[in-house]
Amino acid sequence: MSHFSTIKTKLKETEPLIKALNQLGYTPSQDEKYVKGFQGKYTAVDISLDLPQNTKVGFKWDTTSNSYELVTDLDLWKYNLPVERFISKVTQMYAYQTIITKTQEDGYQIVEQKNENDGSIELVLTKWEA
Amino acid sequence: MPQRTLRFKIHQDGRVQESVEGFEGESCNDATKNLENALGEIKTKRLTTDAYVSNQNKNFNQLNNESNVTF
C-alpha cells in the first residue's frame, strides 16, 4: 500500500532548525539571550540571530504548541525581507533539512532534487529493500 | 526486492506534500512515522492501493513466462 499526505511543518526540533538557519546564510547562537519581542518586551529565547539591517530575532520553545516560535519586535523590523517571508523561508528549509536527515538515517538516497519555478523544492528518494 | 520511493514537494510556505510508494500492506505508515512527527502535523492522508495492482502485474508476468516456456 502507499499513501499520500499533506503536512503542515512546525519547527519542532533544534538541530534541523539550526542547520536551516546556517543554510540560509544566517549565524544563529544558542547562548541564552534576551530579544525584544511583542510590545518591546525583552523575552528569553533559546536561539537568537542578527539579521541584516540591524534586525534581531529569536526562537523560543513554546510548550503549548510543542514547537519554536519567532520572537521579534515588529516595530523594529528593518530587514528588507518581510517577516512573513523570513518565517516561510526558515520553515521551508527546516522541512528540507528534516527530510534529508531522517530519510538518510533510514537508508534512503536522493535520486532527484529540483527547485521548481513556484519556489518549491522537489525531492525523490529511494531505497531497495531485501 | 521492492524499491521504496519517497517523493516530497516542499512548498515555499513550508507545507509538505509526501507520497510513499512500494510498501506492502500498511507498512508504508511506519516507514514515515518518525519523519512526519519531526516535520509537524498531518493535515490530510490518503491511502492508495498500488501494492495490490503491482501484485496483479507480477502474477500476469509469471503467467506470460510460463506460457513462453510451454510453447
- Look at residues A20, A25, A92, A80 and name the one whose alpha carbon lies nearest to residue A54: A80
pLDDT at B1 (0 to 100): 53
pLDDT at B23 (0 to 100): 83
Mapped onto helix, strand or coil, the DSSP state of residue A53 is coil
Give the span between the Cα atoms of B36 and B9, in whole angstroms: 14
Mapped onto helix, strand or coil, the DSSP state of residue A129 is coil
Query: What distance in Å separates residue B13's CA from the closest CA in chain A?
Result: 5
| pLDDT for residue B71 is more than 60 | no
| DSSP characters over B12-34 | TTS-EEEEEES--TTHHHHHTHH
Q: What is the largest CA-CA distance in chain B?
A: 59
Query: What distance in Å separates residue A37's CA from the closest CA in chain B?
Result: 23
Q: How far is CA B35 from the centre of its chain?
A: 16
| pLDDT for residue A37 is more than 90 | no
Over residues B7-49, the pLDDT tens digits come to 999 999 999 999 998 887 778 788 888 898 889 999 988 887 7
User: Could you give the count of Cα atoms lying within 13 Å of B63 in the half-sphere of its Cβ?
Assistant: 6
Whether residue A120 lies within 8 A of chain B, CB to CB, comes out as: yes
Minimum Cα–Cα distance from A65: chain B residue: B40
> What is the torsional sign of CA B64, B55, B32, B7?
positive
The set of residues, in sequence order, having a beta carbon less than 8 Å from that of A114 and lying 6+ positions away, is: A121, A122
pLDDT band at A82 (very low <50, low <70, confident <90, very high): very high
| pLDDT for residue B54 is more than 70 | no
Q: Please, what is the end-to-end C-alpha distance for chain A in angstroms? A: 17
pLDDT at B69 (0 to 100): 44
Q: Which three cell numbers stand for residue B28?
A: 508504508
**Mean pLDDT, rounded, for A65-93:** 95
Minimum Cα–Cα distance from A103: chain B residue: B35
- Chain A residues in contact with B41 (beta carbon < 8 A): 7-8, 10
Tell me the Ramachandran region of residue A62: left when phi exceeds 0, alpha when psi lies from -120 to 50, beta otherwise: beta
- Residues B38 and A68 sit within 8 Å (Cβ to Cβ): no
- Residues A93 and A24 sit within 8 Å (Cβ to Cβ): yes
Give the span between the Cα atoms of A83 and A57, in whole angstroms: 10
